[in-house]
Structure 1
Amino acid sequence: MKKNLICVLAVAWLAATPAWAALGGAPTYHGVRTAPEARAMAAGKSAAASYTVSTATLANGTVIREYVDAHGAVFGVAWSGPRMGSLEALLGNYFPAWQKGLASAQAARGGGYGPVAVREDDLVVESGGHMGALVGRAWLPRALPQGVSADQIH
């Protein structure tokens, strides 16, 4: 009986925790998925560029939105709320590039805190706001589905 209870609790805990994937991988947070969106305009006609947005609200009130392409890979994330989500979890393998870009941006302005934009060929991260109201977004420019603009990640 005790062994069964431990197994049930372990399965429940695993189902409730994030999957710990990131940009370029499967969604990190398994939240509510919205219907696929097709948003692209080319030469006056509409072209299908399907993706879904998975939205999760963390215990601290921060809302995380993950933009997932038709193949199930996350190509963009956005966050807003009193605290940032775990950028290490959200950015995954791209986290070291973010850290390097953040250090460069802080050095360029003489240190301190403030809005930061890191723009690389394979990663863009924008983060800002103020205490209690932080916002940001990150995306992989090369992984944006055809017809999808970075402006749609918000």
Structure 2
Amino acid sequence: MWSRVRRAGSVMALALPCLLAVTQSAHAGLGGAPMTPPADSSVSSRTVQLGTSPATAAQSVMRSASSAASSVPAATSYTVRETTLGNGTVVREYLAADGSVFGLAWRGPQMPDLNDLLGSYFPQYVAGVKAVRAARGGGHGPVAVDQGSLVVRSGGHMGAFNGQAWLPPALPAGVSGSDIQ
């Protein structure tokens, strides 16, 4: 009996590092600080001037978050920080002048960990998903949760997931939910 327990303990000790390595935890939180990217990810940032078109904003030069924050007046811009996870999923964080995350967008072959991305808003999101699914009779599929202080849209299929989340009260002046892409 003890040999089985030791063998099971050994198997768990060997399996745990593998399980931890597979997990793509981003450690971010909507409404809080930007994520700490996993070691196998790449990060870039750009500053978006309020009042510019999305096409113009997309052409802006990529800069580090710190230099972008210091080179543009806080009242006229926000920062978009893009992290490409090791699994190919891209997460965009929309940062206000104070550095807090007011919006998120994701796309890629795997869903990011929404518990990490939504942070303290995750329970509100789960409750919203349950309400949406109960109203339509269950099932899976795209979800749109709009609870006034939190909006989350998530959908896709195996190999191609996408979504957006934002905090309407935290959107900077001149920014709308449609800017979170």
Q: TM-score, normalised by structure 1?
A: 0.79
Say yes or no: does 1:40 pair with 2:67: no
Report if the CA contact (8 A) 2:29-2:117 is conserved. Answer: yes
Instruction: Tell me the distance in 2 between the aligned counterparts of 1:29 and 1:69.
Output: 17
The one-letter amino acid of 1:69's match is A
Greater gyration radius? 2
Q: Please identify runs of 4+ aligned residues in structure 1 that moved more than 4 A.
A: none
Work out which of the residue numbers 67, 78, 84 in structure 1 matches 2:111.
84
Alignment length, in residue pairs?
131
TM-score calculated relative to the size of structure 2: 0.68
Question: Matches of 2:111 and 2:140 in 1, distance apart?
Answer: 14
Match of residue 176 from structure 2: 149
Report the identity percentage. Answer: 55
Distance 1:61 1:103, change over 3 A: same
Deviations 1:24-68 (A, max 9, x none): 11111442111x111238xxxxxx641111111112111000000
**Alignment RMSD, CA only?**
1.8
Q: Larger % of strand: which?
A: 1
Return the alpha-carbon distance in structure 1 between the equivalents of residues 26 and 159 of structure 2: 26
Q: Distance in 2 between matches of 1:19 and 1:111?
A: 29
> What does residue range 5-154 of structure 1 map to in structure 2 within 5 Å?
20-30=27-37, 31-34=43-46, 36-40=47-51, 49-154=76-181
User: Please, which runs of 5 or more residues in structure 2 have no aligned partner?
Assistant: 1-23, 38-42, 53-74
- Flag the structure with higher helix content: 2
Amino acid at match of 1:100: A
